Structure 1
Amino acid sequence: MPAPRWAVCVDIGSTFTKGAVFGFEGGEGRIAARAEAPTTPGDLARGFEAVRRELFARARANEPGFAAEDAIVRFSSSARGGLRIAAIGIVPDLTLAVARLAAASAGGKIVKSFAYTLTADDVAALETLDPDIVLLTGGTDGGDEKHNLANAAALAGARISSTIIYAGNRTARDAVAGILAGKRCIAVDNVMPEVGAVRVEPAREAIRRVFLDTIVEGKGLAALVDSLGVAPKPTPLAVFELVRALSEECPEWRDVCLLDIGGATTDCYSAVEPFRGEPSVVLHGIREPRLTRTVEGDCGLRVSAEALFESGRALIERELGSPPLEILAFAVYIGLVARYPAYLAAEARETRFDAIMARTCAALALRRHAGVLRTVYTAGGKAWVQRGKDLRAVRRVIGTGGYLARIAEEDFLARALAALVPEPEERFLVPEAPVLYADRNHVVPLIGSLAAEYPREAARLLARSLRPVAGDVAQERNRRP
């Protein structure tokens, strides 16, 4: 499909609605205008229209040839913070792991995972959470049915308003649908029809449909969708598709990782072969897809700041040093930004605290997204077991999000990666010597709206908009005590 002459792209976030006009005349994409405005939670269309009007005005001023009637409009939204998804599987390293992959790749946020048969305590936890979606998986096609039927019965009696997506053993599908007849239930193909075969696309599409029903009808976007003739995408899905396009369309970006650091979560995306097949290394669990996403709900700079302080305390205290007063001042700042998420650092010390928080978000998200090698001793001698995905071959890491759009700290990503110090008998499979880039214009989610339709143009536009930053990971790691 040929690229449009102009593309107007808008991303509706929880706090701000951002937009850009991209021009594709001459075959090379460029940023023609940027604008943003506060998100209007009661009616998301009002904030959208405010940004679109400003974009049109700036594009006309910057580009004499710009004409609104020649522009396509695409948009994405994360205004609800992403769909909250509870994943249910049988074996943690198999169907449950695949369920998490499906939910994350669709742009959802995993709020709870359950393995094996749901207990009374599990059901109570689900009722407390009442997630947007319950993703029910389990068993290969023709395999175990009893766990799926038992879990379906437990969900049927649960006091939840969630949409239930069944993506487990095909043999049990009709029985599960019958048990869940009193709930909103969607049945799709199995996420793991055979052992080792990962097939998340049908579940991902079902999650996307639930997103559209939730966002479009519930947040005032229905009229906007009717007038534009196009529906919004979940922002994480738009970014997921952009990382795919970048990896497939630009050979120098084939092995890539992207970190999106926000106020509430940190998302990590990677496109790289997940397992090298080295001698003496055995893969435990599923072989993950080449393209994956994870999201960390305790790694945020504002809304999740208190959770970050708890999860990343060891890394944070190492950065702060030992003075108790400095740690106390940091704790006070954490309380301030968690209470007032729109607060911006007002002095040098607070700027330093923000930088430490952001580096901790990046370090934790990378460590959790990546796999790990652990030493085992067998009759044949020492060997290694790999769990998760090997990111060591990643050559380029991209940092995006509001913080990295304005920060002047050139060695940010190098210091974040260097914080991941290997443990004895264990090795984190994080990128070893990547080239580091920052999305200074914060255009990743905007270009992402174009990636599925115009993958080549979107990928090349992103590659040209990224700025390499200073900082060598190995040197930074060697400087640390």
Structure 2
Amino acid sequence: MGPASVRPAVLVDFGSTFTKVRVVDLRDGSLLASGQAATTTDTALEDGYAAARRSLDPPWDTARPELVKATSSAGGGLRMIAIGLTPSLTVEAARRAALGAGARLIATYSYELTTADVAEICALEPGIVLLAGGADGGNRTAVVHNAGLLAGSAYTGTVILAGNRNAADEAAALLAAAGKGCAVTANVMPRVGELVVAGCRDAIRREFVRRITASHLFRDAAFPVRMPTPMAVLKGLAVVSDGIAGVEPGLGTVLAVDIGGATTDVHSVGAATRRAGVVYTGLEEPHGKRTVEGDLGLRSNATGIVARVAEDPGLATRCGIDDLDRLTAASRQLAAHRSTVPATADQYTVDAQLATAATALAVGRHVGHLTVQHGVTGPVRIQEGKDMRESAGLIGTGGVFRHAADPESILKGGVADERWPSSLRPVSPKFYVDREYCLFAAGLLADDHPHAAFALASRGLEAL
């Protein structure tokens, strides 16, 4: 039971394995209590929530909190497919919008769909199809064609239209006439090369909330789930990075690595550095960015990590892996027994080696690359992606970082190294661990309680 003067907020993350509860004082962002319990997708998520509240340490009466908000990645999270016109432009714009909204992107398609493509989409059973394509006033044929094929298909999810505004009405009419769920939002690429994703991300968030609270996972459709967990983590990281204008300085450009059993997510927040004498290719990099590596996970995709290390023997040395055969055997065991929790020194070592390799690989895919090409006028420096060399911080979030004996050594897998001369990785960041797992909670508070969110996130980061 807490003192009457506090303003308690109960913040919940329904994870795929554990449901976490954090009780936070809205006055100053202090963490009042923490608890977790197994996520209960076999009955209802409220059962795991009740168990997590009973486990709060210190014990806390949560009967009448001032605020309750939740995130969720339970039941596999938000499965999405993105469709655009060209792979390098509208498909990439749609992909970024989906990932930034916290989706698990399971496939992308470009140009006009075929009947085989639509059959494949139906078989994948995504909750949402994001249909983009064409700058405003540009190509409208592909969006209308693709909407028509989806309208005539067996797909039962929702289509979010975020393409050429001149094609939106006709595409939406085709879907509505077929009884398909449809939402229209602003074009993710209104002009060639211009990325505008805020409206699309909000539409995805609203549809996610509607779908998950109406699903079998909840008994109460009014449970206050506000967004997918990855979206909350990115918002929490933005609080840490940006601070509060005129009040609290943030850390500056930061990256956060979140290693789970199936995927490794990398989030970054901060302005992309632009330098004179460099030719930039691709879309403008966003202030807040998220990438998801579906082949890198500590349990179901542990073998994926080892496979990538085997392709680059030098990476094994960089990550402290001295016996790849032993790690291969261990990864197969982990993939077969996904609920394994390390209990011995050897098991912790395996997790640390896998996590270091996952960090190295995932950060390398998240950041940009700078190459030199030689033309008739001499060498030309060409950059694709985001320059993260001047990042102030590299943050580890998730169980492997909180329980590792040496989390800094895992995070060092993500920094610049002479082995990767073209990679724009952080050069000399400070290292932190989200020890209390509060980034998601800060993200839930960010919009309405920014001061409490900043204090919570800042205090929750342990400098290494």
Same fold by TM-score, threshold 0.5 exceeded?
Answer: yes
Q: Determine helix, strand or coil for the equivalent of 2:372.
A: strand
Give matches, 1:14-413, under 5 Å: 14-24=16-26, 28-42=28-42, 43-55=44-56, 58-60=58-60, 68-69=63-64, 71-180=66-175, 181-182=177-178, 183-221=180-218, 223=220, 226=222, 230-249=224-243, 250-276=248-274, 278-314=275-311, 318-319=315-316, 326-413=323-410
Does the aligned pair in 2 maintain the 1:90–1:137 contact within 8 Å? Answer: yes
Q: Determine helix, strand or coil for the equivalent of 1:335.
A: helix
Q: CA deviation at 1:45?
A: 0.8
Q: Determine helix, strand or coil for the equivalent of 1:93.
A: coil
| 2:10 aligned residue | 8
Note closer, same or farther for the CA distance 1:22–1:159 as it changes in structure 2 (3 Å cut): same
| CA displacement, residues 349-390 of structure 1 (integer Å, 9 cap, x when unaligned) | 322211111112211221111111121222321111111111
Deviates more, 1:164-173 or 1:287-296: 287-296
Does the aligned pair in 1 maintain the 2:83–2:91 contact within 8 Å? Answer: yes
Paired with 1:345 and 1:293, the residues of 2 have a C-alpha distance of 28
Does the aligned pair in 2 maintain the 1:189–1:203 contact within 8 Å? Answer: yes
Q: Determine helix, strand or coil for the equivalent of 2:167.
A: helix
Paired with 1:456 and 1:422, the residues of 2 have a C-alpha distance of 41
Does the aligned pair in 1 maintain the 2:255–2:394 contact within 8 Å? Answer: yes
| CA displacement, residues 398-444 of structure 1 (integer Å, 9 cap, x when unaligned) | 11011111111143244312485545xx6111111100101122222
* Residue type of the alignment partner of 2:21: G
Paired with 1:254 and 1:394, the residues of 2 have a C-alpha distance of 7
* Residue type of the alignment partner of 2:241: S
Paired with 1:309 and 1:325, the residues of 2 have a C-alpha distance of 12
Does the aligned pair in 2 maintain the 1:315–1:419 contact within 8 Å? Answer: no
> What is the alpha-carbon root mean square deviation over aligned residues?
2.6
Note closer, same or farther for the CA distance 1:456–1:380 as it changes in structure 2 (3 Å cut): farther
Does the aligned pair in 2 maintain the 1:257–1:268 contact within 8 Å? Answer: yes
Does the aligned pair in 2 maintain the 1:87–1:134 contact within 8 Å? Answer: yes
Paired with 1:314 and 1:350, the residues of 2 have a C-alpha distance of 23
- Count of residues in Structure 1 that have an aligned counterpart in Structure 2: 453
* Residue type of the alignment partner of 1:108: A
| CA displacement, residues 183-236 of structure 1 (integer Å, 9 cap, x when unaligned) | 22222111111123222122112211221122111134352x64x6x3342111
* Residue type of the alignment partner of 2:212: I
Deviates more, 1:245-254 or 1:35-44: 245-254
Paired with 1:344 and 1:320, the residues of 2 have a C-alpha distance of 26
* Residue type of the alignment partner of 1:36: Q
Paired with 2:126 and 2:183, the residues of 1 have a C-alpha distance of 15
More helix by share: 1
Does the aligned pair in 2 maintain the 1:363–1:420 contact within 8 Å? Answer: no
| CA displacement, residues 250-288 of structure 1 (integer Å, 9 cap, x when unaligned) | 424121111111111111111121241x22211111102
* Residue type of the alignment partner of 2:453: A
Paired with 2:194 and 2:359, the residues of 1 have a C-alpha distance of 30
Paired with 1:216 and 1:294, the residues of 2 have a C-alpha distance of 26
**Which runs of no fewer than 5 residues in structure 1 stay unpaired?**
61-65, 470-481
Paired with 2:146 and 2:273, the residues of 1 have a C-alpha distance of 33
* Residue type of the alignment partner of 1:254: G
Paired with 2:151 and 2:430, the residues of 1 have a C-alpha distance of 50
Q: Determine helix, strand or coil for the equivalent of 1:76.
A: strand
Percent of aligned positions with the same letter in both sequences? 37
Q: CA deviation at 1:7?
A: 1.7
Q: Determine helix, strand or coil for the equivalent of 1:436.
A: strand
| 1:474 aligned residue | none
Note closer, same or farther for the CA distance 1:218–1:196 as it changes in structure 2 (3 Å cut): same
Note closer, same or farther for the CA distance 1:112–1:47 as it changes in structure 2 (3 Å cut): same
Q: CA deviation at 1:140?
A: 0.8
Q: CA deviation at 1:47?
A: 0.8
**Which runs of no fewer than 5 residues in structure 2 stay unpaired?**
none
Q: Determine helix, strand or coil for the equivalent of 2:400.
A: helix
* Residue type of the alignment partner of 2:142: H
Does the aligned pair in 2 maintain the 1:9–1:20 contact within 8 Å? Answer: yes
Paired with 2:203 and 2:370, the residues of 1 have a C-alpha distance of 34
2:443 aligned with 1:441: no
Deviates more, 1:99-108 or 1:124-133: 124-133
Paired with 1:123 and 1:178, the residues of 2 have a C-alpha distance of 19
Q: CA deviation at 1:170?
A: 0.5
Note closer, same or farther for the CA distance 1:311–1:179 as it changes in structure 2 (3 Å cut): farther
Note closer, same or farther for the CA distance 1:153–1:432 as it changes in structure 2 (3 Å cut): same
Paired with 1:315 and 1:348, the residues of 2 have a C-alpha distance of 26
Deviates more, 1:429-438 or 1:304-313: 304-313
Paired with 1:317 and 1:39, the residues of 2 have a C-alpha distance of 39
Paired with 1:74 and 1:240, the residues of 2 have a C-alpha distance of 16
Q: CA deviation at 1:338?
A: 1.2
* Residue type of the alignment partner of 1:194: R
State the TM-score, normalized to the length of structure 1. Answer: 0.87
Paired with 2:430 and 2:172, the residues of 1 have a C-alpha distance of 49
| CA displacement, residues 9-58 of structure 1 (integer Å, 9 cap, x when unaligned) | 1211111111122235xx54322211111111130011112222333x83
Does the aligned pair in 1 maintain the 2:282–2:384 contact within 8 Å? Answer: yes
State the TM-score, normalized to the length of structure 2. Answer: 0.90
Note closer, same or farther for the CA distance 1:421–1:408 as it changes in structure 2 (3 Å cut): same
